Structure 1
Amino acid sequence: MDQFTRNQWQNLQGLDLSFNLLAGDISLSICNKSSLQLLNLAHNNMTGMIPQCLANLSSLQVLDLQTNKFYGTIPSNFSKYCDLRTLNLNGNLLEGNLPKSLSNCENLEALNIGSNKLEDHFPNWIQTMQYLEVLVLRENKLYGPIANINIKHPFPSLIILEISSNNFSGPLPKSHIQNFDAMKNVIQVGQDSSMQYLERMEVGDMTYYDSVTMTVKGNSIVMMKISLAFANIDLSQNKFEGEIPSFIGELQALKGLNLSHNRLTGPIPKSIGNLSSMESLDLSSNTLTGVIPSELINLNGLGVLNLSYNDLIGEIPQGKQFNTFSNDSYEGNLGLCGFPLSKKCGPEQHSPPSANTLVSDEKFGFGWKPVAIGYGCGTVFGIGLGYCVLLIGKPRWLVMMVGGQPKQKVTTRTRVRRTNGSTRN
C-alpha cells in the first residue's frame, strides 16, 4: 500500500481496488489523503485492524471494506464533522460493539456490519438517523429487545432492515414498523437505468453502488446493486415473541418479509394480502395459529411462500399463485388440508364460518352446537311421550287424532245369590 504516498496522489478523491487478491494491512498513509471521498477495498484477502484514523477523514463518504479478514473493533472516534454516507464492513471478523460516535455521521444512508462477531444490545441511537435507508446487522451476537426511545418518527427513510441470525428477544418492534414511512410508498423506477439503484455515487470515472446480502428461502443472495423500488424486512432466526401486527399491511412497498424461526403466535394478518408488491413471504417455524387468510391469493407477484412448521389449520386457499406452491410451503402444519397436500378436507375441515355468522351467534348468545343438542334432546323426549300416550290410550282426543283406537271400557256384572239358594222370577 506504500504506493499511496506518491506525490501525484496527494489529491486523490477515490480509490477502488475491490475484487482483487490484495493481502496485508491497510497502510496508515492512506489517512494522509484529506481529499479522499471513496475507499473501496471490498472482496480481497486483507487482514489486520481497521485504522482508527479513517474515522477522522472528514471528506470520506464511502468506506467499503466488506468480505475481508479484518479483526479487532470498529473505529470508535468518528468526529462531529463525519460526512459518511456508506459504511460497509460486512463479512469480517470484527468484535466488540457498534460505536456510538457513529451517530455523528448524520448523513449516513447505508450501514452494513453483517456477518461479524459483534456482541452488544441493539444500538438504539441508530433510530435518530433520519437518512438511514439500509441497516444490516445480520449474523452477529447482538441480543436483547429493541427498545422504543420515544422518537416520533424512527427510521423514516429505512427501506431495508436486515437483523436476522442474532439473539434479539422480546416483542416485535411494532412501533418502529408502524413508522417505516419509506416502505409505505411504492417507488416507480424510471426508464433511465442509471437512476434505478440505491446510493449511486460517482467519483471521477468510478461509479459506486451499495450492495447487500439477503436470505431468500434459506439461501444467501448477494445483491450487488439495490433497486430503489426494493424494500425488505428480515427479522428471522431470533427470539421475537407476540403477534404479527395488522398494520404491516400498510407497508405497500415491501418486496420481502421474513419473520421465520422466532416465537411468534396468533393468526396471520389478513392485511398482508394488501401488499401487492410482495415477492417473498416466509413465516415458517413459529407457532402461528388459525387458517391461512384467503386474502393472500391477491399477492400476484408472490414467488416464494413458506408457512411450514406452525399450527395452522383448515383448507389451503386455492387460485392464482397459490396453485404453484409445493408441499414444502405447508409441511409441519398437521391441521392443514387440501391441494397440494395429500390430505383431503372433510366437512369438519372446511373454512370457518363467515364474520356475519359469528356476529349473529354472538348477538343471541349461543351458537349452532347448543341448538343441535336441543333438537336432539327434544326429538328423543317427543318419541318417548308419544309411545306412552298410545300405550295407555289417554287422552282419547290425542289418540284419535293420530289414528289410534281408544281402549273399550269393560263392564262387569255381579250375579246375586240368595241365601236360600232359590232364584226369584
Structure 2
Amino acid sequence: MASFITPYHFLYLFFFFPHLSASSVTHLCSHHEATSLIHFKNSFSIIKTEFTSFLCDDIAGLKSYPKTNSWKEGTDCCSWDGVTCDHLNAHVIALDLSCSWLYGNFPSNSTLFLLPHIQKLNIAYNDFNYSKMPSEFGQFTRLVYLNISETLFAGKVPSQISHSSKLVSLDLSHNVFFDQLTIDKNTLEGLVHNLTEVRHLFLDRIIMPSINLNVFMNLSSSIKSLSLGGCDLQGKFPSNILHSPNLNLLNLGYNRNLSLDLLNFNQSSNLEHLDLSWMSFTKLIDSIDNLYVLKYLDLSHSNLQRSILISLRNLLQLTYLDFLTQLQHLRIAENSLKGPIPDEKAAFPNLISLDLSNNLLNGKLPSWLYAASSLMEISLSQNQFSGHIRQFQSKSLEMIVLGNNKLQGPLPSSIFQFLNLTWLLLYSNNLSGVIEFGMFSNLPNLEYLDLSLNSLSLSSNNVSQFSPFLRGLKKLKTLDLSNNRIEGKIPQWLQEVTCDSLSYLNLSHNSLTEVSSLICNVSALQILDLSHNKLSGTIPQSNQMHGSLHDHSSKSSPCFSKFQIFNLSSNYFSGPLPRRYINSFRAIINLTKDAGTMTYMGVQDVNGSGGFYSYSIGIVMNGQDIALNKIFVMWAIIDLSNSKFDGEFPKVIGKLRSLKRLNLSYNSLNGWIPTLIGSLTNLEWLDLFSNKLVGRIPRELLNLTALSMLNLSMNELVGCIPQGKQFNTFGNTSYEGIKRLHGFPLSSDCNNNELPPPPPPSNLSEEGGSKSNIDFGWKVVLLGYRCGVVLGLGVGCVVFQIGKPKRRRKPMTRNHSNGGRRI
C-alpha cells in the first residue's frame, strides 16, 4: 500500500510555518499558564508507542523525543522545549509537541484549553488512544495554525472547530493504517464557510459520507494547499478549484469513486504538487504542458489505457525548455502503459525520482536515465525491459528497483560507487556473472538487497567474502539471495551478523545442506526462509517453555494492544491464565477492518518497496493440528491449549468481542463457565475439551449465533444443555464423557431439578493475576503492525520452516516456481 504521506505534504507545512522553538524572552511566563502546561503534561503517559515510532521515525522522518521532559515546576515555561512566548508580555502563544510520545486519552476538560493566547498549536504524531476529539479546540479564537494530525483521535470531527475563524493552516489528516475520523455535512460546510482566511487545508483520510462536493466551490480563491486524499469522496469534483491562481498543492488521490471532467489547466497555474492517483479518467495530458512549475505528479492506479509516454514525447518537443526542464518527480505506476520509453538524450535533466513500475513498457532502458545527474530514485520494476544495465552517471542514487524484467548481463560496476544507495532490488531478471561480495562493502547505507531469481554465481563457503560483506553493511535490513546457486552448509558468516538491523533473510531455493546453531545468534530476524534446500540434521530447539505467566505489566502500558493471534499452545506453562495480558488485547476487544483492505496478515514493505510477506501459524482446532498458511486480517484467535494452566475460567475473556476462535483445551481449568462468554457474538470456535469445569452450561451461550464448533467434552458439567439456535446443530461429540449432562442431543432426558454444585471459592482477583512469585520472562517476535500482530510459540509454529515455502508477495510480480503474484 502506498503511503498518503509525501515529502511535499511536510514541505508546505514547514515552509509556511517553520518549526516552533522556545523563544528567549526577558519576561517570565505567568504562573497560571505554567501550571496549565504542567497539568496538561501530567494527564498523559510519556511512552514511545509503536504508532508514534512508525509515523514519526519511519514515515515522516521526524525526530521523536519526549519534549515535556524539560518542563519543570519552578522554571520559566518560556524556556521549555516546544513552548514559544510573546516577547512583550511572555504569554504562551505557540506550542509544538509533535512527536513528543504523549500517550493516553485526551480529556475534554484538558488544561490545554486554559491558554487563551495560543496562536499556533501542533500536537501531531502522538497517541491519544482512540479518544474523541474535544470540541473545546474551537475555544482557541486566536489560532492561525492548528495541526492535530496523526493522533489516533476517533469518532467525528466536532463542528466547533470551525469557530477558530482566523485559521490560516488546518491539518486534521489521519493515517489509514490505524484509525478513521469522520466529518458530517454540516461540519464541513461550517469549516468552508467560516474559515475565510484558510490557505492550507489538509483533511486526508477524514471520511466524508454523503458530502455535496459543491461545498468546495466556496473555498477562498487564496487557497494554496488542498489535500483530500482517501476521503471516500464520491461524484464529480468541481473543476473551478483547479483554476485558483494561488493553488500550489492539490491531492485528490485514493478516492476511487471520484471523477473529473476533462482537465484544462491554465497557463497561469502555480500547481507544483498534483496527486490524482486511484481515479478514473481518460484525458488529462492534453493541457498538462501548461503546468510550468509542476514538481510532483502522481497518476498511479488511474486506469489510463493509452500510452501517455507518447504524449510526453510530443510534449518534450513542444515545451522542453519551459516545462520538462523543471520536472523533478514523475510517477505513473500501476497502469497499462505500453511501448518503449522515448530515448531523448536530455529529456529530464532535473529529474529526481522516476516511478513507472507495474506497466507493460518494453525495449531498452533509455540513455537519459543513465545520464541524469540529479536522479535519486529509479523504480521500473514489473515491466518488460530487456538488454544490459549500463553504467549510471548519477552519484546521488539512493534507490534502484529494476526487478521482474528481462534484463541481462552482469551488474554494472558503477552501482558499487553509490555511497547513498539504500535499495538495490534486481530480482527476477536474467542477470549473470559472479558476485564478489567485497564490492558491497563500499555501500554503507544499503538496507535492502534482493538479487533473487537470477543466474548469479554465489558461494556460501567462501567466508573471506561474506564476512567483510556483512561487517560493512551495518544498516542491512533485508537480504534475499533465493533462487541462485548457493551450496553447502548454512554459512559460517552468520556469526558476523552482529548489528540489530537484519530482520529478513531469504536463502530459499538453493542447495544448502545443514542448519547451524549460529542461526540463533541472529537475534533481530523476524523472517527466515530456508525452504527448498537440501537441509538435514535437527532444527535448534524456539519450545518446551514452562513456569507461570506472571502478570507484571503496568496498567498504563499499552502491552500487547495489537495482538490478534495469541498462541502459546503445547508447552509446559502452569498457574492461572494471564488475565492482565488478555485484558490488554485492545485489537481483539474492538477489531475494525483495516481501511487498506489488506486480505491477509503479514509484513508490509518487507524489502522497502511495497513488498508483502504473508504470516503462517499452526493452531489446534477440535483436537487437530492445523496449519494456517495465510491468516485473514479479521481473524482474532487465542490458543492456550495443551498446557498445565489451572484456576478459574477468566471472566476478562468476555471483553474480547472480536474473538473468532478460543481454544483452552487440555488444561486444568476449574470453576464455572462465566456467563460473560455470551457477549462474544463473533465467536465461531469454542474448545474447552478436557478441563475440570463444573456447573451448568450458561444459557447466555445461546447468543453465540456465529458458533459453528463447540467442544465441552471431558469436563464435570451438570444440568440441561441449552436448547435452540446454534445449540440445536451440535452433536454428541460436543459433550462426550460428561455423565451428569442431559438433554438434546444426548439420550438422557433433561432433569430441571438437578442442581449444580456451588462455585468454588476464588483466590484470584480479575486484575491481580497469579500470586506466584515466578516471573516468566520472554522475548516476543513482533511480526508487523498494520493489521495485527501474531505471537506463535506452539509446537507446530517455528520461526522458520523447511520444505514448504511461505509465499512472499514482492513489490512487483515475482516469477517463482510456485507462481508469481501482483499487488
TM bucket (normalised to shorter chain) is 0.5 to 0.7
1:81-230 correspondence runs (5 A): 86-87=526-527, 93-95=538-540, 117-118=541-542, 140-152=543-555, 153=557, 154-190=559-595, 193-194=597-598, 197-203=601-607, 204=609, 206-230=611-635
SS at match of 2:581: helix
Say if 1:171 and 1:241, in contact at 8 Å, map to a contact too: yes
How many Å apart are 1:313 and its aligned residue? Answer: 0.7
**Counterpart-to-counterpart distance in 2, 1:330 and 1:179:** 32
Which piece of structure 1 moves more, 24-33 or 226-235? 24-33
1:38 is matched with which residue? Answer: 478
Say if 1:156 and 1:180, in contact at 8 Å, map to a contact too: yes
**Counterpart-to-counterpart distance in 2, 1:41 and 1:305:** 46
Say if 1:214 and 1:220, in contact at 8 Å, map to a contact too: yes
How many Å apart are 1:164 and its aligned residue? Answer: 0.6
1:272-283 correspondence runs (5 A): 272-283=677-688
2:719 is matched with which residue? Answer: 314
**Counterpart-to-counterpart distance in 1, 2:461 and 2:684:** 41
Please give the per-residue CA displacement for 1:220-261, whole angstroms capped at 9, x wherever unaligned. Answer: 222233332221111111001100111211011211111110
SS at match of 1:159: strand
How many Å apart are 1:39 and its aligned residue? Answer: 4.6
How many Å apart are 1:348 and its aligned residue? Answer: 2.8
How many Å apart are 1:166 and its aligned residue? Answer: 0.7
**Counterpart-to-counterpart distance in 2, 1:221 and 1:16:** 34
Kindly indicate whether residue 448 of structure 2 is the aligned counterpart of residue 13 of structure 1.
yes
Give the letter for the 2:547 counterpart: G
1:228-307 correspondence runs (5 A): 228-307=633-712
2:498 is matched with which residue? Answer: 56
Please give the per-residue CA displacement for 1:284-311, whole angstroms capped at 9, x wherever unaligned. Answer: 1001000111111111211221111000
Say if 2:568 and 2:641, in contact at 8 Å, map to a contact too: yes
**Counterpart-to-counterpart distance in 2, 1:285 and 1:40:** 45
**Counterpart-to-counterpart distance in 2, 1:295 and 1:237:** 27
**Counterpart-to-counterpart distance in 2, 1:301 and 1:69:** 47
Say if 2:601 and 2:614, in contact at 8 Å, map to a contact too: yes
Give the letter for the 1:304 counterpart: M
Please give the per-residue CA displacement for 1:138-172, whole angstroms capped at 9, x wherever unaligned. Answer: xx211111123343333222221111111111111
Please give the per-residue CA displacement for 1:395-416, whole angstroms capped at 9, x wherever unaligned. Answer: xxxxxxxxxxxxxxxxxxxxxx
SS at match of 2:603: coil
Say if 2:562 and 2:585, in contact at 8 Å, map to a contact too: yes
SS at match of 1:75: helix
How many Å apart are 1:314 and its aligned residue? Answer: 0.9
Unaligned runs of 5+ in 1: 19-23, 96-116, 119-139, 354-425
How many Å apart are 1:195 and its aligned residue? Answer: 5.7
Say if 2:588 and 2:657, in contact at 8 Å, map to a contact too: yes
**Counterpart-to-counterpart distance in 2, 1:221 and 1:244:** 25
Please give the per-residue CA displacement for 1:41-75, whole angstroms capped at 9, x wherever unaligned. Answer: 99xx9975886447535543334789x97353653
The alignment's TM-score, normalised by the length of structure 1, stands at 0.59
SS at match of 1:70: coil
**Counterpart-to-counterpart distance in 1, 2:626 and 2:488:** 23
Cα distance change on mapping 1:77 and 1:210 into 2, 3 Å: closer
**Counterpart-to-counterpart distance in 1, 2:516 and 2:679:** 44
How many Å apart are 1:4 and its aligned residue? Answer: 6.0
Q: Which has the higher helix share?
A: 1
**Counterpart-to-counterpart distance in 1, 2:674 and 2:581:** 18
The alignment's TM-score, normalised by the length of structure 2, stands at 0.32
2:194 is matched with which residue? Answer: none
Cα distance change on mapping 1:58 and 1:46 into 2, 3 Å: same
**Counterpart-to-counterpart distance in 2, 1:27 and 1:205:** 33
Say if 1:50 and 1:74, in contact at 8 Å, map to a contact too: no
How many Å apart are 1:177 and its aligned residue? Answer: 1.3
Tell me the number of residue pairs that the alignment of Structure 1 and Structure 2 aligns.
298
Say if 2:504 and 2:606, in contact at 8 Å, map to a contact too: no
SS at match of 2:707: coil
Say if 2:548 and 2:574, in contact at 8 Å, map to a contact too: yes
Unaligned runs of 5+ in 2: 1-432, 454-458, 532-536, 758-823
Give the one of 54, 70, 92 matched to 2:515.
70
The percentage of aligned residue pairs carrying the same residue is 36
Say if 1:72 and 1:93, in contact at 8 Å, map to a contact too: no
Cα distance change on mapping 1:218 and 1:148 into 2, 3 Å: same
Cα distance change on mapping 1:8 and 1:299 into 2, 3 Å: farther
**Structure number, greater radius of gyration:** 1
**Counterpart-to-counterpart distance in 1, 2:527 and 2:521:** 13
Cα distance change on mapping 1:325 and 1:47 into 2, 3 Å: farther
Cα distance change on mapping 1:323 and 1:39 into 2, 3 Å: farther
1:392-403 correspondence runs (5 A): none
**Counterpart-to-counterpart distance in 1, 2:657 and 2:488:** 41
How many Å apart are 1:178 and its aligned residue? Answer: 1.8
SS at match of 1:265: strand
SS at match of 2:638: strand
SS at match of 1:199: strand
